[in-house]
């Protein structure tokens, strides 16, 4: 039996450590449980995939990109709709970016994705927040050393023109950037697994989007091999309903769930 782990964005900026840009309550305890699980299963794990949310400051989902009619940037968690842009409630700082930004929020609406949400700048390349939470990073290194193996790190989110909650593809893929399009390499790898243990942050957003997209690409016959380790993932505050809906939807589709201490593939 081939067991693989997919750990989504286990990064400092999503921890509940002081200084985290987008703290997820419970993420520290989640990380401790995940690290113990990785150590316990050890050489039974054939592969580990870790996604890394990866941004720079200038990004369509960061405050720096936008201004209101008074020249002020939006506060974090502001949502920007097509109507907001059409009525000039919010406009890009750079006038030359308006047409592309309007196309983007229209595409989000038309594709039924999230409304554009402005987030605190987070997981910026080269910063502490981009790094893996230390207790998980140490467990990953122990696994690599014991098995002379390499964790498969998958970056996402670097393109400034689109949100990239899912590790499989951006919310609105950029036709000029292969990094925003379907990650066929990751999908092929997961197809070879008999069991895929899922973990990471945050349950309401990047975990939910990634797992839904994986299920869509693996097909109904393979969803049963997905197991969410439910006490190693928590929602963004205020978005708990999204997390509950995700769990309900995916359980109905055949995804399994388990507690870290009880998971035995």
What is the tens place of the pLDDT at every residue in 186-244? 999 999 999 999 999 999 999 999 999 999 999 888 999 999 999 999 999 888 999 99
Residues 215 and 209: their CA atoms lie apart, in Å, by 10
Q: Are residues 136 and 20 in the same domain?
A: yes
Quick one: how far is CA 62 from the chain centroid?
Answer: 16
Provide the β-strand partners of residue 256: 227
Q: Are residues 73 and 196 in the same domain?
A: no
Tell me the residue ranges of DSSP E strands in the chain.
Answer: 3-8, 45-53, 66-67, 79-80, 91-92, 116-117, 152-156, 195-200, 226-229, 256-258
Q: Are residues 70 and 109 in the same domain?
A: yes
Q: Are residues 129 and 33 in the same domain?
A: yes
Quick one: how far is CA 73 from the chain centroid?
Answer: 25
pLDDT given for residue 112 in this prediction:
82
pLDDT given for residue 114 in this prediction:
82
Q: Are residues 37 and 86 in the same domain?
A: no
Q: Domains in the chain: how many in total? A: 2
Confidence label for 113 from pLDDT (cuts 50, 70 and 90): confident
How much is the pTM? 0.95
Residues 137 and 145: their CA atoms lie apart, in Å, by 12
pLDDT given for residue 224 in this prediction:
94
- Asked if pLDDT for residue 79 goes beyond 90, the answer is yes
The answer for 141, left when phi > 0, alpha when psi is -120 to 50, beta otherwise, is alpha
Question: What is the average pLDDT score of the chain?
Answer: 96
Q: Are residues 107 and 133 in the same domain?
A: no
- Shortest CA distance to 256 belongs to which of 209, 191, 182, 194? 194
Domain of 24, in residue numbers: 3-56+125-262
- Asked if pLDDT for residue 59 goes beyond 80, the answer is yes
- Asked if pLDDT for residue 64 goes beyond 90, the answer is yes
């Amino acid at each position: 039996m081939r067991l693989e782990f997919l750990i989504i964005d286990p990064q400092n900026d999503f921890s509940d450590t002081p200084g985290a840009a987008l703290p997820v309550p419970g993420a520290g305890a989640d990380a401790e449980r995940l690290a113990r699980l990785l150590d316990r299963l050890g050489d039974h794990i054939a592969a580990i995939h870790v996604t890394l949310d990866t941004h720079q400051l200038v990004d369509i989902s960061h405050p720096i990109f936008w201004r209101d009619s008074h020249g002020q940037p939006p506060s974090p968690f502001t949502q920007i709709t097509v109507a907001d842009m059409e009525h000039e409630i919010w406009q890009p700082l750079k006038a030359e970016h308006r047409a592309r930004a309007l196309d983007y929020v229209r595409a989000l609406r038309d594709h039924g994705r999230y409304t554009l949400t402005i987030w605190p700048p987070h997981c910026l390349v080269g910063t502490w927040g981009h790094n893996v939470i230390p207790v998980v990073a140490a467990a990953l290194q122990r696994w690599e050393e014991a098995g002379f193996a390499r964790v498969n790190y998958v970056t996402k989110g670097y393109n400034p023109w689109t949100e990239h909650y899912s590790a499989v593809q951006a919310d609105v893929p950029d036709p000029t950037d292969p990094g925003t399009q379907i990650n066929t390499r990751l999908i092929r790898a997961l197809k070879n697994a008999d069991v895929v243990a899922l973990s990471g942050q945050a349950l309401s957003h990047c975990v939910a989007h990634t797992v839904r997209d994986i299920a869509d690409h693996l097909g109904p016959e393979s969803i049963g091999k997905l197991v969410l380790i439910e006490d190693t993932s928590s929602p963004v505050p205020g978005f708990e309903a999204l997390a509950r809906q995700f769990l309900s939807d995916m359980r109905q589709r055949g995804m399994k769930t388990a507690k870290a201490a009880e998971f035995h593939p």
